[in-house]
Amino acid sequence: MNALDPLSPQMLTQAKWAFSTRRVPHEDAVFLSDDLKRVQSGDLVLGRVERIGSHKRIQLAKGRASQLYVGDIVVLACGARYAPDQFEGLAELDPTGADMLAGGGVLGRLRDSHARMSSPTRIVPLGLLADASGAVINVDSYALPKAKRPRGLTVIGVVGASMNSGKTTAVASLAHGLSRAGHRVAAIKATGTGAFGDFNAYVDAGSGWVADFTDAGMVSTYRQPLERIEEGLDTLLAHAAANGCEVAVVELADGVFQTETASLLQNPRVRDGFAGVVFAAPDALAAAGGCTVLRSMGVEPAVVTGMVSCSPLGAAEAEAATQVRVATRAALCDPAQANALLAQMTGEIGAQDAAPELDAAALTDDDFAAVEAAA
């Protein structure tokens, strides 16, 4: 039988609330439920740090990272994670100890990990947070109001070959360039796992409105129904338009082979909603393979960017192999070139006129690595 115990305000005040919980008012947590067996993705968990592992810090709801210590009380959201460079985990809880799957505050059960990763930080679940009515608190209850995809909003998709290929940098840079060109731009992360790195990068770029899937009620989009992810994207785009944005730059997480990303790109409703697609790749081979895969899905990349653009030789190889222009971070940040790329995507000018020739100095820009590492 589900037992509900009153929560002390002191415990909630002392707890470190993760980024994934940022939309939930702390005062809504009144009880602690012991019904861990029926936990669902997005449910808020009060836990105690038992062992420090891979994640040594927690990304707080207030926007900064906090060092973790054994014995810390934390509030995280139960969720799954798909991260080839880190962890794969499921939205399940073991009362004896659960795994911190992401620094943004995602708790679950580790299923697999990259060879270079150490064991995850272990959290002992103390219970699920419940409101005054006794209902378990879920981030979905605090999502932005659902809305239909708006008309008149130009949407640019950003996808990549893999994690850490340069997607976040591409979104932030293009949003920055378009903003400097006079557009009000929304920067949106449509899929992934709750964390503040990408969100903060978008804010720092001067985007007019920033949101991610957690604002649509999902702590993680991994293993979520495609219909729910589509509905979440529609809602975020609608709120972007309501906030006066005329352009939205949308990132899809991980690589084009990731299940949810591939499904979205293969869905005509989503795919055809992009005015153009930017592809981020770590090297020329990934650029060639990725463009081939995208074309098989009916997507013609407007431009290639990412880590490959940091190398003049790599960029030249990629352009020769793909017949798609490679743009550096500096080019995307430049208002004239960003505006020209937007015009190319919307059909206002031809691809051959999309941007001036890039000089050698621009092609040596290596800031992709720094931004991606921070995200």
Model confidence at 163, pLDDT cuts 50, 70, 90, reads confident
Distance spanning both ends of the chain, measured CA to CA? 42
Angle at 196 between CA 208 and CA 170, to 5 degrees: 60
Mean pLDDT of 59-86: 97
Q: Are 221 and 229 in contact (CB under 8 A)?
A: yes
Per-residue pLDDT averaged across 165-189, rounded?
A: 97
| Closest of 30, 12, 316, 281 to residue 170, by C-alpha | 281
- Tell me if the domain spanning 154-374 has CATH number 3.40.50.2000: no
Mean pLDDT of the chain: 93
Residues of the chain with CATH 3.40.50.300: 154-374
Whole-Å CA distances, 214 to 28, 103, 177: 18, 14, 26
What is the pLDDT at residue 365?
46
pLDDT digits (tens, 9 = 90+) for 307-364: 999 999 999 999 999 999 999 999 999 999 999 999 999 997 544 444 444 443 343 4
Q: Give the pLDDT confidence score for residue 369 in this predicted structure.
A: 54
Which amino acid, one-letter code, is at 246?
E
Letter for the amino acid at 87?
A: F
Q: Bridge-partner residues for 343, per DSSP? A: none
At residue 116, what are phi and psi to the nearest 5 degrees? -85, -10
Range scoring the smallest mean pLDDT among 1-15, 47-61, 75-89, 127-141: 1-15
Question: Binning pLDDT at 50, 70 and 90, where does residue 367 land?
Answer: low
User: In degrees rounded to 5, what are phi and psi of residue 35?
Assistant: -85, 65
- What pLDDT, on the 0 to 100 scale, is given for residue 374? 46
Instruction: Indicate the pTM of the whole model.
Output: 0.92
- How far is it, in rounded angstroms, from Cα 340 to Cα 353? 8
Structure tokens at 11: 């415990």
Residue range 173-202: mean pLDDT, rounded: 97
